[in-house]
Amino acid sequence: MIIVLSKKAGEKEIELVSKEIESKGLTAHVSKGKERIIIGAIGDERLLNIEHFNAMPFVEKVVPILAPYKLASREFHEENTVVKVKGFEVGGDKVAIIAGPCAIESEEILFETAHAVKEAGASMLRGSAFKPRTSPYDFQGMGEEGLKLLKKAGEETGLPVETEVMDTRHVAMVAKYVDVVRIGARNMQNFDLLKEVGRLNKPVILKNGIASTMKEFLMAAEYIMSEGNKNVILCNRGIRSFEPELRFPLLNGMVPLLKQKTHLPVIVDPSHSTGNKSLIVPVSRAAIAEGADGLIVEVHSCPEKAMCDAAQQLKPNEFANMMKEVGAIAKAIGRSI
Ligand code: PEP
Ligand code: MN
């Protein structure tokens, strides 16, 4: 961290800043120029409270050098993290395709969809038993009954399964049934929930909040990792914008930017970001071309009757076509699905 002092600062002010730096075990390196005094804090600057310096009236500016998310940052861990889930990897050469219904609605729909996505080549089955709905009157999910079905569908198809957990009180119970837990957009900054899944011995898919910055997203991953769980898969699911015809647009460039900042795998959600199944193939192709390590996509055996997100769920044959389309892009960039 570099602390720039205003012209008026004298020896007393230099000492105040240096003491604050040294109190955390870092070294203060003072350079006196003609116009300014610059103090470099040498050591792990994340131990310093940047606001203490900003609150000093003679401090002109404070320039952090390191990312505040230490465990998640590429500065700290240069190599890509590859998250292993049963027989496959997220973040390796292969692009992971996670597919399944938005919600677990019934045994029949779940199993039909699970077999269809398996046949088309998906690597993991998704399905939510706890649904974060805007209206309390909308379908809230099947709860634990749904999780039992999901586990059974995973066993029957041989696919690993993932689901959303929304409540700290459910974490241990949900983890019993699935291979991967998911933190949804609405809970990206539910810090107690992040800490709770951080203590699990299971990979976590972390979705970005609908109005979060990249830094906040990576700090949320840091919460999970700081509890010991290093198996975090980031999911770019878009953010709120001024365009209502795209549900939560994805920012072009966000995937490669994330991958510069962090070593964690990054997947993309073409379903919740578009809200429109006619856009899923092109958006998925773009995500893979940008370097996404996977996709999480909603597929339903009969979307017309889906209890939530009907407009964005692909039919099994549409999903099979999507697999071909994205497979071609993966191949073009030296990867496979
Ligand atoms: C989901 O994936 O089921 C979901 C609700 O997505 P998000 O949390 O991104 O809105
Ligand atoms: Mn959904």
Locate all alpha helices (DSSP H) within 106-228, ordered by sequence.
Answer: 107-120, 144-157, 171-177, 191-198, 214-226
Percent above pLDDT 90 for the chain = 97
Contact of 40 with 2, CB cutoff 8 Å:
yes
Give every CB contact of residue 72 below 8 A, 6+ residues apart in sequence.
218, 221, 222, 225, 232, 262, 263, 264
- Banded model confidence at residue 7, pLDDT cuts 50, 70, 90: confident
Check pLDDT > 90 for residue 106: yes
**Range 154-165 average pLDDT:** 98
Check pLDDT > 90 for residue 53: yes
Q: Which atom of ligand 1 is nearest to the CA of 182?
A: 2
245, with CB counted inside 10 A (0-12, 13-18, 19+), is exposed
* 235 CA from centroid of ligand 1 (Å): 10
- Smallest CA separation from ligand 1 atom 4, residue: 184
Ligand with smallest separation from the Cα of 128: 1
Candidate of 237, 297, 309 to mutate for ligand 1, largest count of ligand atoms within 8 Å of Cβ: 237
Percent above pLDDT 70 for the chain = 100
Say what the pLDDT of residue 8 is: 85
Give the position of tokens 């689901």: 163
Average pLDDT, whole number, for the chain?
Answer: 97
Check pLDDT > 90 for residue 225: yes
Instruction: State which H helix or E strand residue 161 sits in.
Output: strand 161-164
Q: What is the pLDDT of residues 250-272, one digit of tens each?
A: 999 999 999 999 999 999 999 99
Distance CA 181, CA 277 (A): 25
* 286 CA from centroid of ligand 1 (Å): 20
Ligand with smallest separation from the Cα of 314: 2
Q: What is the pLDDT of residues 180-211, one digit of tens each?
A: 999 999 999 999 999 999 999 999 999 999 99
Q: What is the pLDDT of residues 62-87, one digit of tens each?
A: 999 999 999 999 999 999 999 999 98
Candidate of 272, 274, 308, 312 to mutate for ligand 1, largest count of ligand atoms within 8 Å of Cβ: 272
Beta strand 180-183 with 96-100 is: unpaired
Q: What is the pLDDT of residues 281-327, one digit of tens each?
A: 999 999 999 999 999 999 999 999 999 999 999 999 999 999 999 99
Check pLDDT > 90 for residue 34: no
Ligand with smallest separation from the Cα of 309: 2
- Smallest CA separation from ligand 1 atom 8, residue: 184
Check pLDDT > 90 for residue 22: yes
- Banded model confidence at residue 35, pLDDT cuts 50, 70, 90: confident
Write out residues with Cβ below 6 Å of ligand 1.
Answer: 102, 128, 132, 164, 184-185, 207, 237, 269, 272
